[in-house]
Structure 1
Amino acid sequence: MSWLRALKDTARSGMTVTRTPLEPLVALRAAVGLAIVIGAGLTLLGPGAAASSAFGAFMAAIATFQQSWRPRPALALASGLTLAVSTFVGYLVGASQTGLFLLLLALWAFVAGLLWAAGPTAGIIASGNVAIMLVTVTLPTSVPQAAGHAAMIAAGGVVQALLIVLFPVRRWGAHRDALADALAAEADYARRLRHDPVAPFDPQPLMKARAAATVTVRQARRRPAELHGARGLAERIRPVLASLADPAVGAPAEGPARDRVRELLAAAAVVLDRAARAIRQGEPVRPPAPELAVLKAPDLPELLEGAPLRAARRLAALLDDVLETAEPGSGRTADPGEAMLRPTLPRMVPHVLKAVRAELRPGSPVLRHAVRVTVVACAGYLIGGALPFGHGYWAPMASVMVMRPDFSQTWSRAVARFGGTLVGVGVATAIVQVAQPGMYLSGFLAVVSAGLMYVLMRTGYAVAQTFVSAYVVFLLGMGGVRWDQTVPDRIALTLVGGILAMVGYALYPAWETPRLRTRLADWLAAVGRYAAAVLGQYADPAGARRADVREALLETRDARIAWQEALDRAEGEPVRHRGLSRAAADGAGDAVAALGRNAMLLEAHLPDRAHAPVPGAAELAEALRAATEAGARAVRERRVPEWDGVRILLADWNAPESGVLRGAAEQLLDSLDEVAEALRP
């Protein structure tokens, strides 16, 4: 993609407004917290303290809107307390010497960039700390005042946390939605299988549901019973649906048996939708009687036999368990020892340090992002101070808040921030000129602007930035700053900050395109380990660990998501494909997905522990593991992978009693050949 087209696409994506479900009550709660803090500050301590506490309450509320499964009060407290520390330390250093503050800014920006290794929520909170240091270091005039400002900022975070505890809105709503979305995705999958027996399935909803099911010890004690168990059942339903529909292991592609399979799939979709709706709303399940009758008697009329009939009966049993689990109050709350536990925030420190250390290596995109943010923030601070404007910190603050580890987000957010600033400042300025608001009315308008930002935050960065800009204008007006002292400065310095962010990425990029082969190789190797783990269950049904298959499957999903995200990011980058064109990437990705699907079909019919070992399964598992590992190395080294080991094994196969396994092995080899063909020059 050329630079011109890349710039055009990123600009368009930055200004795009998306339709998304709104959470007005959650936004109202956050706005009320901000109003309490501003009102108390204005009444008791004056506009300066009110502005400081507003920073804490405003940023703490933003932290609670991030995509995190942690308790929201903990996020608000973490944000408020770290903002307070950043404010106080920044003033202590900045009040003494500008050069020393520049070193502190570089350290804070570098650490904030590295914290993206711990996830987007940590990265966003850390970026807010850099921004707050730049802003509030200019407000206090003494150390006691700096301590007071820091205390007010921390109080803003505490107020938001208390409101979340005292006035919960749709408790466990996000966790319910994640589980319901997983069941609804499987219902959609069942419907698509009726028309396309080999339809693909995106594991993202199941992965999101698993992340939502990983809770803290305190959450595990309070979690509703219907949120425990259904996710595991959904995981087991997916391979059963695929095996029932696939003509290779299920019913024939056409005929009465296929019609019966379509009826079963349609009934399963209805049952899954009912369960999803009940879990989402926390209401009793309304079991669909006609569909349950179809599922409970899959052999009536007598059309199915063998593997399809076993899959249909297993599907009916799993769906019965789903309906029972989804019924509110029908099960027990999970014991903390049985749940997938998430460490508390203090205990997360070693995990975060480990993730950060892993990124301290040449070529790491997170390390490059940290270096880039550090240089741009320091350059923006110096340039903003040298320009003939007030509030020079706006330039580095804009840079820090728009910069992300990847190209598309950085450039699109830079464009969106400037566009949103232009609109927000313009509207707020017009209101100020017409209404001439005083201190309290300015505070009220600031709260309204923040509330609208909270409501519309997920619709697009440009929309959110529009209301943030208006919020800042009203907040500064609350302290008596005239609009003509802020509007030109903010627009000009926001433009400078956005340009610095974009230039920084252009000069020191972290392109995803050259890493596509590595991502593809990781996915191929992970799928090979998953297939080998499944075959290991056939080789030793009594002694094999069932957990091995589960762990390998989760690794496969992580690798697949990493590949897809890398592919999406690379699509918008203005660089050449460097040996892996879009067509080759699509073809190889489809082939690796087919390889994983064939392994999943084998998983759907795992033998029980009393079953005798299947001849040839152990040799096939080892050959497949070795071949995919060698193939992954070939992909990384830009060579075409070969599968001679698996091919020779199948040619010498002498176990006629394991014909089903041989047929599955041939399907696996066909998928591997498709991978090689897609990568062939």
Structure 2
Amino acid sequence: MRGALAMLPLLLAVAADRPTAGVPAALGAMFAGINDRPGGRRSSVSRVGVPALAGAAGLLIGSLLPGIGPPGAAMVVLPVLLGVLGLLAGALSSTGPVASACGTQLLVAAVIGAGMPLPEPGGERALLFLAGAGWALLLRLVLPSRFLLPVPPSRRRTSGGPYRYDGEREAVASVYAAVAGLLRAAGGTRAPARRAALTAALDQAQDALSGPRLRRYASSAAERRLHAQYAAALPLAEAATALAWAGEPLPGRVAEGPLRLAHAVRTGSACGPLPAPVRSGAGLRALDDALLAAAEAFDHRPGQSLRTPRGRPGLVALLRRAFGPAGREYGCRVALCCGVSAAVALGLDHEHWYWMPATAVFLVKPDLGPLVSRVLSRAAGTVVGAAVFAGFFALVAGPLPAVAAVALCGALIPVATRHFAAQTAVVTVLVLSLVLLAGEPQAAWGRVVESLTACAIVLLVGHLPLPGQRGNRVRDAVDTAVAAAHRYLRHVLAHPQDGAGRGVLRRDAYRSLAVARSALDLSAAELPPVAGRTAEFEEVAGALERLVDTTTACAVHLHDRGAALLPSHAERIAEHLAALDAAHRASARSGVLV
């Protein structure tokens, strides 16, 4: 529903007999729908708004590129300029998910701005693009999700804060549910997967609470309550991780308390009395203490908001990462894909030459899945989308059916983003409809040919050996996780009673570990020329996971009544440190690490 309403500016432009003015607005709304993800409304401001600014800048830059250089030299100048822009955008994309969306949107919009023949000047196109994205973002912020989607009875709120915090509330509730899942899985084979699920839930809640006015000082009682509930979940997660690390099954009643807290978060009700575990060990005592603290946080209005424990890198750190080995490697591949595909399209004198480099930019993104998988998905999705478009417009004609097709595709984008092939099919129909509204002729099967050509280019460049080492993205992620794990361990051993500082470092360690594991899993799914360069990281990641979990167990024990570190814990830490060091040395010998 929200995606369809986001196309209202396009309908207004068509009604005003200016359909070309609606095309940039529809593009902005389309990108906003692609970048939006489930979560807090406030965090969507940066998740959607910042890439929209980058896209508007790209559209403006792209409209200026054809005028650079001597007349008639566009076939040479444009690919070079787009390649340089791709190098910068690719390097920026390597620094994080929002930066990845910014870099991609900047480059794709620049390609469209340079190639799509619209009568509006570049500045007006950029403003229209921002208007479309801003309208989609406004809908995201003000429309209540429960009016748009059915909500299960068990998750309906009976009281509590306003609907605009539904995403944050669900994210925090998922943390308590994940704690209960880990406690139930303790002592079984599913415990590692449940611990990873708890890390993912904590990461999502952290992101959901990190939007404007939800950082250091909350602006309402509902926000302060959510911050307090999230903060109360952190000691529970620590205790549950320590209990799962011990490897012993737990009574079923230990999971009832976190489940009741999850229900209380979702419904906005008081948690009531919680079943307390038997205080027979350091882990169970920590769990009981955390439950008592959570009950107090739920049943009493917090006096002030709590800071969400997440460090944000500064500008210098971001630039260092962008122009480090991982940024340079990815930037070179983006530059080659964009520049070569533009040169091929211009050399073949394709009327819609900009489709090929725009397709290549999307395909080269590593966060959309393994390279071969996303190339095949792109090819299949383009064929299906072109067939649907050709069949539909063989029966109807005119601007209103095109607007209806764009609105329907806008409504389908949030669902289609779950699979790259489905997203490609929906976006193909949407883009071809916008091309019609822009006054260009139908080119459904031309879109297929150019997309398949871009797929071949990306597949070749993605496996092309470049100077230096490969696997920089995985290496950087693992190195970051190793550094975070060592900071966490040193703090636990030096300051065992500093719960607040330990919590911040624990979150950083587990979050960095999850990023490293995700990068490693993605690399392992690639073809052997790529996967073989990072296979040695598997031992490093395994040793790192064991070290971080053991550190958490030691932290719970040391915090319990000021007890000393057990000899068995010290031996396990020494064993994991030695294994981590050996894995690092083995990777260095294989040429993966510098």
- TM-score after normalising by structure 1: 0.71
Alignment of 1:173-572 (within 5 A): 173-193=166-186, 201-202=195-196, 203-217=199-213, 220-222=218-220, 224-241=223-240, 262-263=250-251, 266-279=252-265, 281-285=266-270, 287=272, 292-293=274-275, 295=277, 298=278, 304=280, 308=281, 311-326=283-298, 330-332=300-302, 334-335=304-305, 338-340=306-308, 351-352=314-315, 354-361=317-324, 364-405=325-366, 409-434=370-395, 436-457=396-417, 459-479=418-438, 481-483=440-442, 486-508=443-465, 526-537=484-495, 545-572=498-525
Once the two structures are superposed, residues 396-416 of structure 1 have per-residue CA deviations (whole angstroms, 9 ceiling, x without a partner) of 110011112479533322221
1:120 to partner: Cα distance: 2.0
Partner of 1:662: 567
Aligned pair partner of 1:603 in 555, 559, 569: 555
- TM-score after normalising by structure 2: 0.81
- For the 8 Å contact 1:233–1:321, the answer to whether it is kept is yes
**Does the residue aligned with 2:138 lie in a helix, a strand or coil?**
helix
- For the 8 Å contact 2:309–2:504, the answer to whether it is kept is no
The Cα RMSD (Å) is: 3.8
- For the 8 Å contact 2:256–2:275, the answer to whether it is kept is no
1:145 to partner: Cα distance: 3.5
CA–CA separation in structure 1 for the residues paired with 2:50 and 2:477: 34
CA–CA separation in structure 2 for the residues paired with 1:405 and 1:579: 16
**Does the residue aligned with 1:390 lie in a helix, a strand or coil?**
coil
- For the 8 Å contact 2:86–2:107, the answer to whether it is kept is yes
Cα distance change on mapping 1:138 and 1:519 into 2, 3 Å: closer
1:76 to partner: Cα distance: 4.5
Aligned pair partner of 2:33 in 61, 64, 72: 61
Cα distance change on mapping 1:101 and 1:464 into 2, 3 Å: same
CA–CA separation in structure 1 for the residues paired with 2:438 and 2:530: 52
CA–CA separation in structure 1 for the residues paired with 2:170 and 2:517: 23
CA–CA separation in structure 2 for the residues paired with 1:378 and 1:478: 28
- For the 8 Å contact 2:524–2:535, the answer to whether it is kept is no
- For the 8 Å contact 1:217–1:342, the answer to whether it is kept is no
1:429 to partner: Cα distance: 0.6
CA–CA separation in structure 2 for the residues paired with 1:516 and 1:55: 33
**Does the residue aligned with 1:422 lie in a helix, a strand or coil?**
helix
Whether 2:167 is the aligned partner of 1:171: answer no
Once the two structures are superposed, residues 157-198 of structure 1 have per-residue CA deviations (whole angstroms, 9 ceiling, x without a partner) of 232233334434352333223222221111011112265798
Which AA in structure 1 matches 2:426?
Answer: F
- For the 8 Å contact 1:215–1:339, the answer to whether it is kept is no
Cα distance change on mapping 1:268 and 1:512 into 2, 3 Å: farther
Cα distance change on mapping 1:444 and 1:69 into 2, 3 Å: closer
CA–CA separation in structure 2 for the residues paired with 1:480 and 1:514: 44
- Give the greater-gyration-radius structure (CA): 1
CA–CA separation in structure 2 for the residues paired with 1:81 and 1:535: 45
Once the two structures are superposed, residues 42-79 of structure 1 have per-residue CA deviations (whole angstroms, 9 ceiling, x without a partner) of 12242222223222222233333488885434554444
1:506 to partner: Cα distance: 1.2
Once the two structures are superposed, residues 458-509 of structure 1 have per-residue CA deviations (whole angstroms, 9 ceiling, x without a partner) of x2010011111111222233355443xx022111111111111111111146
Q: Mind listing any 5+ residue stretches in structure 2 that lack a counterpart?
A: 146-162, 587-594
Comparing 573-582 with 424-433, which one deviates more in the overlay?
Answer: 573-582
Q: How many residues align?
A: 556
- For the 8 Å contact 2:474–2:520, the answer to whether it is kept is yes
Whether 2:38 is the aligned partner of 1:39: answer no
CA–CA separation in structure 2 for the residues paired with 1:121 and 1:247: 37
CA–CA separation in structure 2 for the residues paired with 1:89 and 1:367: 22
Cα distance change on mapping 1:524 and 1:90 into 2, 3 Å: closer
- For the 8 Å contact 1:439–1:480, the answer to whether it is kept is no
Whether 2:11 is the aligned partner of 1:30: answer no
Percent identity for Structure 1 against Structure 2: 20
**Does the residue aligned with 2:164 lie in a helix, a strand or coil?**
coil
Partner of 2:88: 111
CA–CA separation in structure 1 for the residues paired with 2:440 and 2:373: 31
Cα distance change on mapping 1:106 and 1:312 into 2, 3 Å: closer
Q: Mind listing any 5+ residue stretches in structure 1 that lack a counterpart?
A: 1-27, 254-260, 615-657
CA–CA separation in structure 1 for the residues paired with 2:333 and 2:579: 40
Which AA in structure 2 matches 1:603?
Answer: A
**Does the residue aligned with 1:221 lie in a helix, a strand or coil?**
coil
1:228 to partner: Cα distance: 1.5
CA–CA separation in structure 2 for the residues paired with 1:498 and 1:117: 21
CA–CA separation in structure 1 for the residues paired with 2:371 and 2:125: 31
